[in-house]
A and B are shown apart, each in its own frame.
Chain A
Amino acid sequence: MSTIELLRLALSRLRTNRLRAALTMLGVIIGVASVVALVGVGQGTTSNITNRLAGLGTNLLTISPTGRGGSASTTLTLGDADAVRTIATVGGVAPEVSTSATVAAGNETTSTTIVGTTSAYAGVRAYDVWQGTFLTDVAVEHDLRVAVLGATTASDLGLGASDLGTTVTIGGLPFQVIGILQAKGGSGFQDPDDQVMVPVGAVQKYFVGGDNVRTIGVSVAEADQMTATSAEITALLRERHGLAATDSADFQVFNQTQLLAAASSITATLTLLLGGIASISLIVGGIGIMNIMLVSVRERTREIGIRKAVGARGRDILAQFLVEALTLSLLGGLIGIVVGLTVSALIGQVAGWGFAFNPATIAIAVVFSLAVGVVFGVWPARQAARLDPINALRYE
């Protein structure tokens, strides 16, 4: 018998007992839907974290002084930044001095963060230039009064692509706008697009004084050198700061990437765990199918006898019952996938990380529901196929 004949037989059989078929499928529907939904939500969370990770800058280490308070407690200097730059595994070093100031362009004013830094900042913090250029080495070297605007700041000031070269005032001093950055989008508490970048020397000269820096951002060339580089930086700066082995450091090297990577791996584990729990309900659904198929074999003993008498072989009967079980599990699986995707899309919508459609999840769900059909359908089908036609015909 061809597959189409078997499917036709199975479908007509399921049609004669719709309620039973629907209830049996419900078990698989719930199982598959919860697996798909939970895995979808897990993947949404993970990709959310991964996006933040990329947004922070690739392979970023942040050096900051320990202890709290203003610039008084800052012990890091531009010299420290230059020293760190000599480490072989370091890709870029961007010292940062920041302050708050009012920025004005024409009639528009906004209060924002002024970051004094170098040309390496864009690379280290993963910013892209939308219009114009970023701070150049020449501008930084000569403490030129030039400014690069974050996307939010630019729009707050009503400045667009055509406004490159205009002058804005920062804390009353005129700066020339040489570039506008591309928006990164929100990550965390602070809007990374609401800031103005100017040469580090200009901030020190005009706003904060001294040659201390608030933080030093360091990008490491290769991801697997993060830990080693972090240790090297620590050793170098301890030496530069004249610390004895027993002194506690006056700075710390913070590896945000590592933190988020750990968070991301925890989420992945949780996803696996939740998926595992959900797949238990899939097994329960499978047992539901087996139960109903066993009942069905019992009820249809006489039918099996008749079919055998008129020429059905054992394998024809086996195929018939197996295809029935598979139809139940596959139909249930497909409905479950639709339900699961809908749920995870809704949750993604509410949580704000959007809807990540993953074809692999669908493929796995289909394979799983087929497997459930085979595993839980084959035994009842074998029972049916093995029935002795003589006894089956006389079964009441």
Chain B
Amino acid sequence: MTDALISLDHVSRIYSMGHMEVPALVDVSLEIHPGEFVAIVGPSGSGKTTMMNLLGCLDRPTAGEYRLAGTPVADLDDDGLARLRSRTIGFVFQSYNLLPRTTALDNVATPLLYQGVSRSERAARAKAALERLGLGDRIHHEPSELSGGQQQRVAVARAIVTEPALILADEPTGNLDSHSGVEVMALLHELNAAGRTIVLITHDADVAAAAGRQIHLRDGRVVA
């Protein structure tokens, strides 16, 4: 129980829009253990995005308790959340979200910048991460000079450069052609095999099927 990496205990997230209250997640309890590969699946509007924001410490629950690596998220202020994200989570987004007009190397090194890692060490670690993903010859290219698949691999490199416990991937194959998609999925499996916990958020049943465990969301509730 206590060694869970992610633990949600009766978590709800309710948005208030004016006088209306819109529940996005309702009474969700789940645990994800280190080394798991979990897919959170559901159609649009099921609360996937809210789940992703909560798990990624970009947002806080309105009710219930979320513990990430044993730390209760509710107790943290914005800086505390930023520090927790920086230490424990690597993000992979659907739209890559690389910094424009910035080389692959600098993009991958950015998370290390906010950890206070020295310039030379940043460059060395970012280069190593890119080489590991087969982008050793692209380190000085800017995102606009890379294909979608390459950009997503840069994004994965950025996610793993800090050696985070958790990799949070939000529709990582959504913008990619099927070949690049398969490549990225293989990459995530490889990382999982190397011991990293992966949480994949998707609406695509085929993608989800590749995961070790699936959590189905519908209308803000866990249905399976």
Contact = CB atoms under 8 A, between A and B. Distances in A.
B18 interface: no
B85 A303 contact: no
Contact of B83 (A5, A313, A390): A313
B161 to A, nearest CB: 9
Residue of B83, B113, B119, B158 with highest tally of chain A CB at under 10 A: B113
Interface string A114-128: 000000000000000
A311 B79 contact: no
A212 B80 CA distance: 95
Interface in A313-327: 313-316
Contact of B114 (A1, A390, A393): A1
B82 A311 contact: yes
Interface stretch (B92-100, B123-131, B171-179, B204-212): B92-100
Contacts of B91: 309-310
**What band does the interface of chain A fall in when counting residues whose beta carbon is under 8 Å from B?**
20 to 34
B14 to A, nearest CB: 15
Interface string A1-42: 100010000000000100000000000000000000000000
B152 to A, nearest CB: 14
Interface stretch (B34-42, B52-60, B62-70, B213-221): B52-60
Interface string A255-276: 0000000000000000000000
A393 B168 CA distance: 15
A393 B93 contact: yes
A315 B83 CA distance: 12
Nearest to A302: B97
B101 interface: yes
B86 A310 contact: yes
A214 interface: no
Interface in A338-393: 389-390, 393
Contact of A310 (B79, B85, B100): B85
Chain A binding site: helix, strand, loop or mixed by DSSP?
helix
B114 A310 contact: yes
B82 A312 contact: yes
A80 to B, nearest CB: 84
B82 A308 contact: yes
Nearest to A396: B95
A302 B98 CA distance: 9
A329 B82 CA distance: 30
A144 interface: no
Contacts of A390: 53, 58-59
Contacts of B58: 308-309, 389-390, 393
Contacts of B98: 306
B78 interface: yes
Nearest to B59: A390
Contacts of B47: none
Contacts of A310: 85-86, 91, 110-111, 114, 158
A211 B151 CA distance: 105
Interface of A: 1, 5, 16, 302-303, 305-316, 389-390, 393
By Cβ-Cβ distance, the 4 closest A-B pairs, closest first, are A311-B86, A311-B114, A310-B111, A313-B82
11 contacts: A16-B101, A307-B99, A309-B56, A309-B97, A310-B85, A311-B85, A311-B115, A314-B79, A315-B79, A316-B114, A390-B53
